Amino acid sequence: MANTVIGNTIVIDGEISGDEDLTIRGTVKGKIALSASLIVENSGTVEADIETKNVEVSGNVTGNITSTERVELKSDGRMVGDIKAPRILIADGAVFKGNVDMER
């Protein structure tokens, strides 16, 4: 089954919830709650509080991330907000401002 992709030109203002993987190439403002993986691609812009299992950020994220497994900030990712997750990776080149909490 094709995963959900929020395309380049799509703007969502509100709340997204679900139990399948989500890829964001467009813009999402509000709140994201997933029991699966979230990928914010290069062109993606997220201004939202995020609750999910895994997050991979290559785009722009403004908001707090709470993850039950893993948060990865890729080298082209830019994020402002707090991250709370058992495993957090920040790649060389990533821009990040906020608190990191790895408490399990």
Task: Summarize as ranges the residues that interact with another protein (CB under 8 A).
Answer: 1-20, 22, 26, 30, 36
- For residue 12, the number of C-alpha atoms closer than 13 Å in the C-beta half-sphere is 19
Whole-angstrom distance, CA of residue 35 vs CA of residue 18: 7
Nearer to another protein, 11 or 95 (CB): 11
- Least distance in angstroms from the C-beta of 35 to another protein: 9
Could you say which DSSP state residue 94 is in? -
**Diameter over CA atoms, the chain:** 37
Nearer to another protein, 5 or 94 (CB): 5
- Least distance in angstroms from the C-beta of 17 to another protein: 5
